[in-house]
Amino acid sequence: MWSSIPRTLTRLPTQRLASLASHRPPTLPFPRSSASAISRALHTTRPSYAKYERFDQRPSFGGSPGPSGGGPTFWQYIKRRMGGDRAVWVYGIGIGGGGIYYVTHLERVPETGRLRFIDVDEAQERELGRQTQLQTLSEYDRALLPPNHPISKRIRKVATRIIESSGLGRVKSSGEMGAIEGTVPTWGGGIDMKDVFFGGGEGGKEVREGKDTEWEVYVIDDKKTKNAFVLPGGKIFVFTGILPISDNDDGLATVLGHEIAHQVARHPAERMSSMKVLFALGLLLESLGLDVGVSRLLLTFMLQLPNSRKNESEADFIGLRLMSRACFDPTESSKMWERMSAAEGGKGLSVDFLSTHPANAKRIKQLENWMPERKTPKYRTMVHQPDNPPVATIESGGPATSPALEERPHDFRYEIIQGYFIQNGPQPKHTNFEDLLKQSFGLIDTSPERWYNLKASIRKLQDQAPEGVYYKVMFLGYNVAEIARHGQGWHNFGAGKYGIDKWEEYWTYLYNDDEITWGPDPELTPLGKSQAQAINRCWAAEAPLGAPIKPDEMTWYVSPFTRTGQTLEESWGALLGRAPEVWEDWREVYGSHTCDKRSTRTILQKRFPSFKFEEGLTEEDELWKEDDRETDAHMQMRAQRAMDRLFGKDGAKETYISVTAHSAILRNLLAVLHHQAYPLATGEMIPVVVKATRLRANS
């Protein structure tokens, strides 16, 4: 961890740290050995030990020779030291019992699977962290930056990104970061230290950092202290002095990822537990007559320091994973440590044998060795940077069809019949949607009989079509085989708030900010509802002119999302003539973006009781994965499958279809229909006349 953590959590810094931080942390009145067990600084620290005093001066094994000219045998020496055969049995039973206790308290570290000894209650661990938090806040009260300070917001955003991307809980917003009740505690009035080091207390309470943990971020304006630490219970403290070394958000993610990793792995509890083992071994060695100085050296260099370095390396590895999952650049981790080494003026130890932490050079090399794992295609998917999709339909110009469409047999081949709507051609153009609403959604025929003429023309096409050829009118975006894009949702609002680049790079992987919530499955904004209501007014005006919206003419389909369901209800209202069918194939691209995770089937059915949900719609969203994003090629296969279902059920019986869906699936549906790219804003639609030619028997 970092230098200058409150003394309640770490040992005193060595001269190596003195140059980095003049901060003198607060002191709580409990044994230094216990305090050092909770947490330790990121840099090298020199361990301190309690002094053991010997009350007898009997010669140890191998001491002065006896009358026969030599010392006692080992077994004679053991019995002499222990007080006879009975004492030997007592010692043996004690050691055996201790071994059983040790083995039964072994557990594996999350992320790495390392086996380690822990017997500290998690509730007690958090209580220690809570009291240290209160003391730290009391000491630095005047140096704390407000939660809404730009630096606080920046650090909170980085922490939020790391924590929420790994499902470790949620970070409290600036509005939730009120004053913490309580005063600087005394240990007698809070937790009993004997419960921590000798058992007892609440016992086994499951409060591990997880999805229910509420993390808090505190920023201390101290530019001289290059420090950051995390207390049990999710309390994050960052000194502004570390920011120049972190340099950027990726470097800051390295710092925070490392500290959060210590809590994920419960390293403080592991160190507290190891203190008991060291204490017991020290007593055993001393009882056997081993010089106290020698026993201290053995325990320090053979157990304590290696375990500490192992914890630090493990935190580096887990932290690298955490920052990678949050879409930060993992290559910045080694660069951050190079800056740290430079900040220390090259005074860091070149070897780590005497240190609680790996040497900087070794640390950098380890991170670089781990880097290939973070650069694999699996990593690119994990951090939401998939390879370029095989099709790009965002730019205007000819049909863009994925080669994947030709790799599997389909039931139909689709094409667009031009000459009916200005959006389709023969000279297609993108028209402001407000103008389209005034032009019957883009009908080229502007006569009073325009809808009757359209229906007559489509009926003629159907009557003259050879076997296996069908025609439907669809509105992509909104109605007549209507493909309609939903109105503005809160995720759209968020993208507008932060800009599309920052949204795609960062915010879309979160669930909210300090003001709005956009995931999962956001609702329509007030603007989104007004956009849908504008569609409703237009259809109401077109109905007397023969628009095909009667229950025996129009069929409605919708994706299984709240925003599309609300859009359909608002845009049709009383004009909705039959129950809309909910198909999962019409859903938005799934994976990684939190707004694209749907609600459960039960929740959706409660929100839209009049809708007809397809039988195969699962209760939970089993398609959405936080570390995987659906490709355009797969969406086109999904759109093709949905179209095959539409045309495969009774062929031409359903002529006019309304599909209320999302931008990405509609964009790929246009590619399936061999239509030129046509970008749709929220609440817009593109009507199309579709010709389907059967390729094989319906599967």
The yes-or-no verdict on residue 152 having pLDDT over 70 is yes
Asked which of 350, 382, 414 is the last residue of a domain, the reply is 382
pLDDT higher for 180 or 291? 291
Prediction pTM value: 0.47
Do 134 and 239 belong to one domain?
yes
How many domains does the structure of the chain reveal?
A: 2
Greatest CA span in the chain, whole angstroms?
129
Domain assignment of residue 21, yes or no: no
Task: Please compute the mean of the pLDDT values over residues 617-630 and round it to a whole number.
Answer: 89
Domain shared by 327 and 458, yes or no: no
Residue 499 falls inside a structural domain = no
Which sequence positions are flagged as catalytic? 259
Same structural domain, 373 and 412: no
Which of 382, 412, 436 delimits the end of a domain? 382
| pLDDT of amino acid 626 | 82
Do 330 and 246 fall into the same domain?
A: yes
Residues 89 and 150 in one domain: yes
The mean pLDDT value of the chain amounts to 73
Q: Write the CA distances from 458 to 452, 454, 455, 507, 654, integer angstroms.
A: 10, 6, 5, 46, 12
> Does a structural domain hold residue 391?
no
Asked if 331 and 480 sit in the same domain, the reply is: no
> 699 is written with which tokens?
């599967």
Between 109-113, 316-320, 527-531, 578-582, the lowest mean confidence (pLDDT) is in 109-113
CATH number of the domain to which 651 belongs = 3.40.50
Helix intervals (H) in 240-397: 243-246, 249-264, 267-287, 292-299, 305-325, 332-343, 360-375, 377-382
Whether 57 is in a domain gets the answer no
Residue 113 lies inside a defined structural domain of this protein = yes
User: Which among 339-353, 364-378, 540-554, 677-691 has the top mean pLDDT?
Assistant: 540-554
Q: How far apart are CA 425 and CA 694, in angstroms?
A: 24
In this predicted model, what pLDDT tens digit does every residue of 580-613 receive, in sequence order?
Answer: 999 999 998 888 889 999 999 999 999 999 999 9
pLDDT bin (cut points 50, 70, 90) of residue 40 is very low
Is residue 362 one of the residues assigned to a domain?
A: yes
Q: Which domain range does residue 152 map to?
A: 77-382
- Is 351 found in the same domain as 235? yes
In angstroms, the CA 260 to CA 263 distance is 5
Residue 512 is assigned to a structural domain of this protein? no
Residues 128 and 261 in one domain: yes
* CA 591 remoteness from chain centre: 12
Per the model's pLDDT, the better-predicted residue between 645 and 66 turns out to be 645
Rounded distance between C-alpha atoms, residue 186 and residue 502, angstroms: 46
Q: Is 479 contained in some domain?
A: yes
pLDDT tens digits, one per residue of 160-173: 889 888 888 888 87
Asked which of 349, 382, 415 is the last residue of a domain, the reply is 382
Considering the domain architecture, whether residues 362 and 456 belong to the same structural domain is answered as no
Same domain, 104 and 207: yes
Range with the largest mean pLDDT of 300-304, 433-437, 654-658: 654-658
Q: Are residues 420 and 337 in the same domain?
A: no
Give the model confidence (pLDDT) of 421-447 as tens digits.
Answer: 888 766 656 666 677 777 888 888 999
Most confident of 113-122, 380-389, 538-547: 538-547
Q: How far is CA 206 from CA 106, 193, 202, 209, 401, in A?
A: 17, 20, 10, 9, 52
603 and 666, same domain (yes or no)? yes
3-state secondary structure of 57: coil
Q: Is the pLDDT of residue 475 over 70?
A: yes
Query: What phi, psi does 503 have (nearest 5°)?
Result: -65, -50
Q: Is the pLDDT of residue 212 over 60?
A: yes
- Backbone phi and psi for residue 4, each to the nearest 5 degrees, phi listed first: 70, 20
